[in-house]
Amino acid sequence: MIFLYGFVNNWPHSKVAGGSSQDSLICICFSAMISYLLYVTISIVLWMQLQPTLASVEITKGINGLDKLVLRQIHGSTVEVYLYGAHVTSWKNDHGKELLFLSSKAIFSPPTAIRGGIPIIFPQFSNLGPLRSHGFARNRVWTMENNSHPLQSKPINGVFVDLLLKPTEDDLNIWPNRFEYRLRITLGLKGDLIMTSRIKNTNTDKKQFNFTFAYHNYFRVSNISEVRVEGLGKLDYLDNTQNRTRFTETRDVITINSEIDRIYLSTPKKLAILDHKKKQTVSIQKHGLPDAVVWNPWEERSKTIVDLGPDDYKSMVAVEASAIGKPVILNPGQEWKASQKLSAVTSH
């Protein structure tokens, strides 16, 4: 601008019709300067819009005013977690596509468990014990831990939240065992969802306890008829539709065309859910979880589930990383660790 001012002041002061040449030049220079500044401003705005947003964790209110955490990665993937049940209700990829199933009739009102997403099943799977079906962890409000547990290192490039559950006096009345359950939920740089559980026996009376466990993953699918589950072929399973009678799977790949409710035993560490119509594969990599449940209620059974829509079974499949066949036994002071990593990729 100093250059332009000096240039204009040294311009010959000859008169032209309608004003001086100096006035004309000032107008031209001013217009050029405004155009340049506008160009720079637009360029900066566009550049900022094209940059990935910072990874973050936001505390907000969800349905019915329940506390909810939103994890965001730099490329756009997100995870939503309710403190009620430490319940993951949404997992979206960097294109905003939902990967988890949530019932059209899900009830967000304690003490009812939320139908869909990823319920935490602890300390009892189904009715395998004295408690109500699937235990109580999914029906309790968890707390956030601001300081990382000394045994948990921070993930590289991952955004995470640490949650904690301890038994209430009511819990101790129905399940007389003291514990600390720490759960880390991580959204990886590439949009992977990692859940790591650490359960410690904190009984002071030298009493051990045992439990069964599952990450009850509900996956959204295009249509159940287009889905196949890989990694469970030729394995033994307990059929919950036939009083948990033990069978051996005869197929290499699991397809679903009727009600299925099976506990597959001693499964591999990696499973895959292929959706032919979506051209999508979701993989489950699990550690410390030897079993896997496959569940779809189909049409008739769906009619008996009050918080499941009549056609919801067509767009979901539950494949659950679990420890059921052999209950986990913990001595006082002992800690158990298990994890799962969910990843979604385009398949052909």
CATH of the domain at 313: 2.70.98.10
Select which of 95, 216, 287, 348 is catalytic.
216
**pLDDT for the residue 15:** 45
What's the predicted TM-score (pTM) here? 0.83
**pLDDT for the residue 55:** 83
**pLDDT for the residue 54:** 76
Q: Are residues 171 and 285 in the same domain?
A: yes
Q: Are residues 149 and 236 in the same domain?
A: yes
Q: Are residues 88 and 227 in the same domain?
A: yes
Residues of the chain with pLDDT under 50: 1-17, 48, 50-52, 151
Structure-block tokens of residue 38: 């506008």
Percentage of the residues of the chain whose pLDDT score is greater than 70: 86
Q: Are residues 141 and 28 in the same domain?
A: no
**pLDDT for the residue 33:** 77
Q: Are residues 29 and 150 in the same domain?
A: no
Residue owning tokens 């009050």: 306
**pLDDT for the residue 148:** 58
Nearest CA among 264, 280, 278 for reference residue 321: 264
Residue owning tokens 């049409």: 299
Domain range for 299: 56-346
Q: Are residues 124 and 207 in the same domain?
A: yes
Report the distance separating Cα 137 and Cα 165, nearest Å: 8
Q: Which residues contact 27 (CB under 8 A, 6 or more apart)?
A: none
Select which of 58, 169, 320, 348 is catalytic.
320
- 216 catalytic? Reply is yes
State yes or no: cis peptide before 110, omega within 30 of 0: no
Q: Are residues 130 and 267 in the same domain?
A: yes
Q: DSSP character for 313?
A: G
**pLDDT for the residue 49:** 52
Q: Are residues 212 and 180 in the same domain?
A: yes
Q: Are residues 64 and 20 in the same domain?
A: no
* Single-letter residue type at 272: A
**pLDDT for the residue 45:** 55
Q: Are residues 307 and 222 in the same domain?
A: yes
How many folded domains does the chain comprise?
2
**pLDDT for the residue 348:** 66
Rounded to 10 deg, the angle between the 2-9 and 21-50 helix axes is 160
**pLDDT for the residue 52:** 47
Q: Are residues 145 and 241 in the same domain?
A: yes
Counting other chains too, the contacts that 241-250 makes at CB distance below 8 Å and 24 or more residues apart are: none
**pLDDT for the residue 230:** 98
